[in-house]
Homo-oligomer: A and B are copies of this chain.
Amino acid sequence: MTTAVPTLPAFADVLSAAARIAPHAQQTPVLRSQSLDDMVGCRLHFKCENLQRVGAFKFRGACNAIFALDDVAASRGILTQSSGNHGAAVALASRLRGTSATVVVPEGAPAVKLAAIAGYGARIVRCAPTMAARNAAAAALAEDTGAHLVHPFDDAHVIAGQGTVALEFLRSEPELDALLTPVGGGGLLSGCALAARTLRPGLEILGAEPKGAADAHASLREGRCITDMVANTICDGLRGQLAPRTLALLRRHVDGILIVDDSAVIEAMRLLWERLKLVVEPSGAIALAAVLRNRERFAGRRVGIVISGGNVDLDTLPWQAHA
């Protein structure tokens, strides 16, 4: 039996992605907070992808994948499956490319993210909240429509696009000692690791993963994709599980995965709202949460934190729901 080896993006693909998405994506700011630094005991630099278009880094990867298509392929429409931010990103990037989008959304996705997908003009198809159901529904629609499937992370163009986060980050902050990003399916972490390992070979590159969806940690330990976990975490954007492509990149470039419980995520989220004045969703706060729970590890160092997204239901906040 042979297994197809997935195409892995290279550093040059991240550079190409940066050029391709430049007319559409934001160069997001890097913010600092003296009071957070004092509290945590290291120098934190926050790359604010919650200020990216659609409110999440996901726009970078989707934009790169969709603008890389030739006109004929793009004209057949775009298809994806996503619990939220990637769906909105595909919807907006498709509209900017002048084509249609269909998004398969699992039951239980946050209302604010569904509204965003619909707001950018995409068609929504609901499915059961499992990766198997999502993939099956997307595959069936792809066959029916001929639309191009843009996977949320198991796609070389998507990974290269997400890598532009680290490219920008390290260009504006060349002195970082460590870089932390959230990890769900691994698109952001693997893309950033690919870019960062080339730009700064000695940089420590870490993922932050919720305790209730710690498949990336287990997958790296066992050297294979663990796909049978049932996610249970407030981090709705981090329920995805690694694919062979992202696992291969993480094994090559990443120094470790820090596991964080939801209470630390809520604490970090509130700190980001209070101190940085940024609206950050739970998944977007997990890298800071990992620092809060591992202060001695980062003491005195210059730590780059990727705030991955800011799409959160403002009717009830997590610290209220948990009060």
Contact = CB atoms under 8 A, between A and B. Distances in A.
Contact of A278 (B35, B274, B278, B316): B278
Interface string A285-320: 000000000000000000000000010001111011
Contact of A277 (B35, B50, B320): B50
Contacts of A53: 34
A247 B109 CA distance: 52
Contacts of A43: none
Contact of A119 (B35, B112, B314): B35
Contacts of A310: 277
Count of this chain's copies in the oligomeric assembly: 2
Contacts of A112: 274
Contacts of A225: none
Nearest to A311: B277
Contacts of A277: 50-51, 55, 278-280, 310
A280 B277 CA distance: 7
Interface of A: 29, 31, 34-35, 50-51, 53, 55, 112, 119, 270, 273-274, 276-280, 310, 314-317, 319-320
8 contacts: A29-B29, A50-B277, A51-B276, A273-B314, A274-B279, A274-B314, A277-B280, A315-B320
